[in-house]
Structure 1
Amino acid sequence: MIDPAILLPYILACVLFSVVPGPSVSVVVANSLAGGTRAGLLTILGTEIAMLVMVTIVALGLDVVMNVVAEAFVIIKFVGAAYLIWIGWKMFSASGQLDFKAADKLPVWRYLRQGAVVNLSNPKTLLFLGAFLPQFVDTSRPAFGQIMILGLIVMAVATASDCVYAVLAGQARQVLTAARVKLMSRVSGAILMAGGVWLAFQKRA
């Protein structure tokens, strides 16, 4: 259904889109440092569930959806910004002590929720997908199936990229001293809070 001639440039564009760290990558790294690779992978699952929802929205009706999002942009933006700042502050103010056993017992839904909420509360992701995916659609054929396939490809690339971040951060926590963990928590928390502030001041596209 997808023209093979566009697959390579499309995948390269997806790689560029995925490797640049954003709010979702920051949450994946922070959770991997605190709870290990498992926590990071569960967070990724949450972000990809949210991504699938957004791809489906784009596929079902781009013009209608973009108008709805445009009207709700301010509300979504500030909810997402507040959530990022809240998570960031919790990390920034953490003691730096990592209880590996306790972290392994944390409920799955906590990581899924964080990943999904951070992705869904960033309207720029939906706006980007709405502008990016249609560029590779053959207008002579039905768009829904094409957009879903293109969306699954970008999800696969993003998942692979995020898994690298999760594994590296999850392994790094094993060799970190308490002082270094506290420093990393503060750095991760500061990045998330800065991301929340940045998101709050983004103008509507």
Structure 2
Amino acid sequence: MALHTWFAFFVACWLICLSPGAGAVASMSTGLRYGVLRGGWNILGLELGLVLQIAIVAAGVGALLATSALAFALIKWFGVAYLLYLAVRQWRAPTQDYDTLGDDHQGRRRGVLLIRGFLINASNPKAVVFLLAVLPQFLDPSRPMALQYALMGLTLITVDVVVMAGYTGLAARALKLLRSARQQRLVNRGFAALFAAAASLLATARRAAV
């Protein structure tokens, strides 16, 4: 991949990753509720989901999602259901004293946040089809495909980690301000509405529009 081609892809990555979506909502929600360190587990899950999406595109399976209405619908509606589940969980989330969260609580939450982040990205077929449309535009047919996909994947994941860490960190800065139960309930319900909005947007996704 030529340097100018990679740089164009690098710029495109920032535009893609900065676009608000379910991953950004999850990162802000996690940062606000659990802080930066535990928010990193959510980010790790998101990136593992992104790795899966890139691998699907590189393997050519992404074309199946672009052409099969059934495959696209099954994954899409699973994603919608999962985001609505997260919305309900966020709405009903109990208030807590952030100063008393112990190491044991943190340990139990790591796996949950990791799996949650992974499922958010892995259950978004529109993202796979989007990558299927974008990534090939930067490929050089005369060079090894695997290396180019690996380079683009590494670039996209690196940018996404920075962006999601930024969302998590900004939300975590507000954590110390949310001490009253009423404030926490309002914020939880606000993020519940955002998860529900993300589910609604995913529900409107159509293969022909990608």
1:188 aligns with 2:191: yes
Q: 1:57·1:65 contact (CA, 8 Å) conserved in 2? A: yes
Alignment match, 1:94 = 93
Q: Distance in 2 between matches of 1:34 and 1:98?
A: 10
| TM-score, normalised by the number of residues in structure 1 | 0.91
Alignment match, 2:36 = 37
1:73 aligns with 2:72: yes
Deviation, structure 1 residue 73: 0.8
Provide closer, same or farther for how the CA distance between residues 81 and 105 of structure 1 changes in structure 2, counting only shifts above 3 A: same
Q: SS state of the match for residue 135, structure 1?
A: helix
**Residues 126-145 of structure 1: pairs in structure 2 closer than 5 A:** 126-145=128-147
Q: Distance in 2 between matches of 1:68 and 1:16?
A: 23
Q: Distance in 1 between matches of 2:52 and 2:196?
A: 25
Q: Which amino acid aligns with 1:193?
A: A
Q: How many residues align?
A: 202
The alignment-based identity, stated in percent, is: 31
Moved over 6 A (4+): none
Q: Which amino acid aligns with 2:34?
A: G
Cα RMSD after superposing both structures: 1.7
Q: Distance in 2 between matches of 1:98 and 1:38?
A: 17
Q: Distance in 1 between matches of 2:128 and 2:37?
A: 27
Gaps of 5+ in 2: none
Q: 1:56·1:148 contact (CA, 8 Å) conserved in 2? A: no
Q: Distance in 1 between matches of 2:62 and 2:4?
A: 29
Q: SS state of the match for residue 163, structure 1?
A: helix
What whole-Å deviation, never above 9, does each CA across 1:64-96 have from its counterpart, x for those lacking one?
432256341111111111111111111112343
**Residues 1-205 of structure 1: pairs in structure 2 closer than 5 A:** 2-61=1-60, 64-68=61-65, 70=68, 71-100=70-99, 101=101, 104-178=106-180, 179-205=182-208
Deviation, structure 1 residue 60: 2.1
What whole-Å deviation, never above 9, does each CA across 1:9-55 have from its counterpart, x for those lacking one?
21111101111110111111111111111232110100101111111
Gaps of 5+ in 1: none
Q: 2:90·2:192 contact (CA, 8 Å) conserved in 1? A: yes
Q: Distance in 2 between matches of 1:156 and 1:112?
A: 17
Q: 1:54·1:126 contact (CA, 8 Å) conserved in 2? A: yes
Provide closer, same or farther for how the CA distance between residues 17 and 98 of structure 1 changes in structure 2, counting only shifts above 3 A: farther
Q: Distance in 2 between matches of 1:92 and 1:66?
A: 37
Deviation, structure 1 residue 197: 2.1
Deviation, structure 1 residue 105: 4.2
Provide closer, same or farther for how the CA distance between residues 146 and 117 of structure 1 changes in structure 2, counting only shifts above 3 A: same
Q: Which amino acid aligns with 1:75?
A: L
